[in-house]
Amino acid sequence: MELSALEISALELSLQVAVVSLLLSLPAGLAAAWVLARCRFLGKSLLDGLIHLPLVLPPVVVGYALLVLFGRRGPIGGWLHDALGITLAFNWKGAALASAVMAFPLMVRAMRLSLEGVDRRLEAAARTLGAGSARVFLTVTLPLMGPGIITGAILAFARSIGEFGATITFVSNIPGLTQTLPLALYSLTQQPDGDAAALRLTLIAVVVSLAALLASELLARRVARQVGSAG
């Protein structure tokens, strides 16, 4: 199965976008999971709803909201361009942002469920031995929620690989610049002679997504066994 230069470019860009979006959202996802699982405050339900909103909104709506906010004339995008020279709209960086936003709820949910399953008595025991809050988090809480972090991260990666609606609305479908795997597949389905290439990209997308899900399962089990043996 020989891929054309355009197909290779779309695959490479998809992987790049997925990795960058994962790196962007991982710290924020961990912080959001902690706030939702451990904190009590007025408006918590509203925050929870806002975080999970991309799951229920049409992706095109999310993409349009990103375009309004982060476009060259948007309140955030305009400042980024004028102050830092950063352009997100119609750029691969914008595709990474769109993918991160769409995948964020999946990541947060997996991490939150894992954190809620951590036995807080273990954290309390570490504190009685003199460990500070940061040390307890790094040495007790974080390893125990490791499977959830891995699952959330790889699910977010797989979701980013398949992101379409928000991406095409926010950054368009520009070959070599913003055309990720799903966008290339869409373009090929509109061409009379694009069936063979579309089939190749479909198989690649299935393999990459399946590999990510299997890796998530294997890594989560491995971390769970290590945590269990350490305990």
Question: pLDDT tens digits for 102-130?
Answer: 999 999 999 999 999 888 888 888 888 88
Query: Where on the phi/psi map is residue 2: left (φ > 0), alpha (ψ -120 to 50), or beta?
Result: beta
pTM of the model: 0.87
Question: pLDDT tens digits for 173-221?
Answer: 998 889 999 999 898 888 888 788 888 888 888 888 888 778 777 877 7
- Note whether 13 and 179 are within 8 A (CB): yes
Sign of CA dihedral 35, 36, 40, 44: positive
Q: Which domain holds residue 167?
A: 5-230
pLDDT at 1: 57
What total of structural domains would you count in the chain?
1
The DSSP secondary-structure symbol of 2 reads P
Q: Residue 40 above 60 pLDDT?
A: yes
Averaged confidence pLDDT in the chain:
88
pLDDT at 193: 82
CATH number at residue 41: 1.10.3720.10
